Amino acid sequence: MADLKLVVGLGNPGPEYAETRHNLGFKVIEALDEALGIVVKQQKFGARVGEGWYRDRKVMLMKPWQYMNRSGQAVATVAGFYKLGLGDLIVITDDRALAPGRIRIRAKGSAGGHNGLADIIARLGSDEFARCRIGIGDCPGALAVDYVLGRPREDERPLLNEAIVRARDAVLCWLESGTERTMNEFNSGPV
| CATH code, domain carrying 75 | 3.40.50.1470
Beta bridge partners of 59: 5, 52
* Mean pLDDT confidence for 178-191: 83
Task: Return the pLDDT at 145.
Answer: 79
Q: Does residue 191 register a pLDDT over 60?
A: no
Q: Is 17 among the annotated ligand-binding positions?
A: yes
Q: Which of 5, 21, 22, 48 is catalytic?
A: 22
Task: Return the pLDDT at 146.
Answer: 82
User: Per mean pLDDT, which range of 49-53, 148-152, 169-173 is the poorest?
Assistant: 148-152
The beta-carbon contacts of 163-167 under 8 Å, at least 24 apart in sequence, are 163/24, 163/100, 163/101, 163/102, 163/103, 163/134, 163/135, 163/191, 164/24, 164/27, 164/28, 164/31, 164/134, 165/31, 166/103, 167/24, 167/28, 167/31, 167/92, 167/103, 167/132, 167/134
Q: Is 77 helix (H, G, I), strand (E, B) or coil?
A: helix
Domain that holds residue 90: 4-186
In a domain? residue 191: no
Q: Does residue 170 register a pLDDT over 50?
A: yes
Cβ pair 188, 166 in contact under 8 A: no
Task: Return the pLDDT at 3.
Answer: 81
Q: Does residue 150 register a pLDDT over 90?
A: no
Q: Is 69 among the annotated ligand-binding positions?
A: yes
Q: Does residue 189 register a pLDDT over 60?
A: no
In a domain? residue 97: yes
In a domain? residue 104: yes
CA distance 13 to 17: 7
54-90 pLDDT, tens digit each:
988 999 999 999 988 999 999 999 999 999 999 999 9
114-131 pLDDT, tens digit each:
889 999 999 999 999 999
Q: What is the mean pLDDT of the chain?
A: 91
160: left (phi over 0), alpha (psi -120 to 50) or beta: alpha
* Mean pLDDT confidence for 105-119: 92
Say which residue, 22 or 145, is predicted with more confidence: 22
Nearest to 21 by CA among 162, 137, 165, 109: 137
| DSSP character at residue 11 | -
Task: Return the pLDDT at 190.
Answer: 52
In a domain? residue 166: yes
Q: Does residue 95 register a pLDDT over 70?
A: yes
Q: Is 25 helix (H, G, I), strand (E, B) or coil?
A: helix
Q: Is 147 among the annotated ligand-binding positions?
A: no
158-169 pLDDT, tens digit each:
999 999 999 999
Q: Does residue 1 register a pLDDT over 60?
A: no
Domain total for the chain?
1
CA distance 10 to 25: 4
**DSSP secondary structure of 164-181:** HHHHHHHHHHHHHH-HHH
Beta bridge partners of 42: 49
22 is a catalytic site residue: yes
Cβ pair 121, 113 in contact under 8 A: no
